[in-house]
Structure 1
């Protein structure tokens, strides 16, 4: 057993997660993969390459890519004020599209744990109606434009509305047509709904944990969760209310295909010129780096620069990453709750990056 496999086996064996999938890859092939544990504990159902997960905030990278595609088409200027495209925008005339993309608009970020609905409610869920009172309640900015980095899910709700307005279609349809269908994958492997309930990983939360006590303050556990299964309590199948900040559901291999295509020169998704804009680290108005590009975080591991994004919430946690200098990427998916950006991939990629300097 390799060091990577041992680390991940310990996670499963010590009940830190019901399952985990890790992949390291280059533009063309998988270099390392580890898949351990159960997609469903009560059914003793092992995970597989067909297992799908709620990817939460990793969706933001697709939203940013869509905005850059529209900019490339001349339909959006990211340096122009948002109000030029959305006259109803309530946060002033100085905030630009770029400020939303790099989280420097100062728009509030109310706690998002309650922002989900069950899968059977999807057909009647109206996200604009849902978010209207939230925007009304959080109608003042927390800082001046580009004064500082302030992560905001609401900012990405607005970007989703902007895509719909400019592209004259739904957010989901735009992403499906212009990103997902350009990838060499089955469209059901990356979507905004659960295409196959049998292959969707059940999301779990540790039963005996402080965070489980706190969870009751954020969601109605009797509505959104099932009874305990051993040391875990499962979530019922649900969707994020904010599709453009957290709605994607897919297999790890589908997200790998997305990253592989992004890493290519002359990508089918975006030109090199606009890709450079996507991955350019933002400096605030005082000239200091914010460790954030247009939706992608910037980091470094053993001297190697990387771009990354995590996706976490009730029942699921994942990370995606690109090492641009060596055109290598990695992903990890858990079916357990993750709330913070754990940078878990540092622990695993470290072995490969060390070996290939």
Structure 2
């Protein structure tokens, strides 16, 4: 399909630069397969789901993966955004001012953190080898900042509030360089209300990569190369999800990251298998969903892979109408913005 079919005009003032407080006071647009759009709030979620439904969250934790430094022995400023872990000391990173970096160069970041640019990849990224004996997580805590999306970072500086704001309450496993933002709206109060209504919850892990922010440069979706991300679904989790669905419950993915991993792990009969490894699944209209029955997600960028995903779930014309409704109704967009509940 043509990528421009997923475009729309968003007024700049609709881009949220900070989340609302409390988190569950964010607005939520409810979109069914047909009928009117319904304007609610995230705190209303217990009334919008049924006992036995399962919300599936991503428990990845965002690391301070944005680094600023200089090439050793020179004045060239180098920026690095870590993208995907290769081993205990190596990360693939997108490099700013990459034309000044050669394989074998040492880059000196803040806090005495250094890395060797070991290998350049076809997309222009580099494998960075972090020097020293301290775990890379310790080095990043010392030298890195939270990797806010470009549409926020381009309008204001990262600050200490983002260390909390850009992390979900479920964050437990280090490795993401972008937040699974649909889950940013949840609070302890909301989780208690959901449990009291008989709505279940499960966790999986998908370490979101910086590639999620890369624009689709191809003119046709068939020519776009999707980035890979590492994920895991434990055997016990898969078994409980299958049992809940067999009992009549719906599987509602909280965020496109959870959805993509569930669909990567789905068998042809719709059951979910345990999973561990990389996934580069690219979901576009025409895809047959097997594992999920609904999706809670924020509002996405025009012509993005995530706009294509929600269009695959609900239909392109339905989603375009929903987005125009959200713009007209002054919903807040993107990572720190409002939410939607999509129920085909």
What TM-score, normalized to structure 1? 0.29
Kindly indicate which of the two structures has a greater share of residues assigned to helix: 1
Kindly indicate which of the two structures has a greater share of residues assigned to strand: 2
What TM-score, normalized to structure 2? 0.30
